[in-house]
Amino acid sequence: MTLRASPKALLSMAALALLGAAALASWRPAPSAPAPPEPPPPAPATLSPTEGPAAGAPVQPEVMTVEGEDYRVHVIAFRLANAHFEVVDVEMSRDVAGVLERTRASFVINGGFFDRQRRPEGLVVVDGRELAPLAPSLGGGVLVVSGGRAALHDAAGFVLSPGAHLAVQGLPRLVVSGSRNVRSDGGPRAERTALCVLDRGRRMEAIVARGDRAQSGPTLGLLADMLVARGCEQALNLDGGPSTGVAWREDGGAREMAPRGPIRHAIAVRLDP
């Protein structure tokens, strides 16, 4: 059966359609609520100063040339009353510049010797902590810093007194009681590192003899004569040859003469600003 709408019903439906179309035409979405303002960006964090001691005072090495020789001698002089020592195991690397930054030192030099197994050879003590034991077979001497004074002792029968800030064994003792302690002028030429004691132990000089070639440098006898001429009262030879290296902090940056070969220990010295 087919249903048919009456004309009146059709008119009503048309009217409703027209009203719906008009309503749709006039409809506008209700304005949405304004978005909450974005929070302001956080203020830059204030970083606390780097923990640990302030960076050491910069140094200006004295650089000496030796007539007729192809090496130069860098000398860093300092007073022991203003010095703080640290010895760092660099694990057979050449990274004296890294030690300079990590310890915030004024300068860093290579330390003592190591054996064929790359173990430290010779006494090393810092602030009462022994990093390596005395090596009687090595001989040489032990340089001790205690109470703001430095003294060089014969390694034979040496016994360390309590309270030492630094003790390092090396060989040979280049200068003893202001006099040369090396018998011969001979021996190989090599790059050298040494510590010199002056002013009755109140001052020290770190001596680094380096050339442009690995084999350039003084003999031990020539180095001893040079240190006597500088007024050294005591002086100890540290590891040399390819182990010789130094890094220092200067105004505006840092400088480095890295060792040509790996080293076991580096001696960092931080000087009060």
Q: Is 41 a domain residue?
A: no
Q: Is 243 a domain residue?
A: yes
Q: Tell me the three-class secondary structure of 27-79, residue by residue.
A: CCCCCCCCCCCCCCCCCCCCCCCCCCCCCCCCCCCEEEECCCCCEEEEEEEEE
Q: Is 56 a domain residue?
A: no
For 165-201, write each residue's pLDDT tens digit.
999 999 999 999 999 999 988 789 999 999 999 999 9
Q: How many domains does the chain have?
A: 1
Residue 212's region, left for phi above 0, alpha for psi from -120 to 50, else beta, is alpha
Q: Is 31 a domain residue?
A: no
pLDDT at 35: 52
Q: Is 12 a domain residue?
A: no
Q: Is 8 a domain residue?
A: no
Give me the percent of the chain exceeding a pLDDT of 90.
Answer: 75
Query: Cα separation of 256 and 96, whole Å?
Result: 8
Q: Is 143 a domain residue?
A: yes
Q: Is 106 a domain residue?
A: yes
Query: Cα separation of 166 and 160, whole Å?
Result: 10
This prediction has a pTM of 0.81
Q: Do 100 and 135 touch, CB atoms closer than 8 A?
A: no
* Lowest-pLDDT range of 34-48, 93-107, 206-220: 34-48
Query: Cα separation of 179 and 158, whole Å?
Result: 21
The domain of 104 spans: 62-271
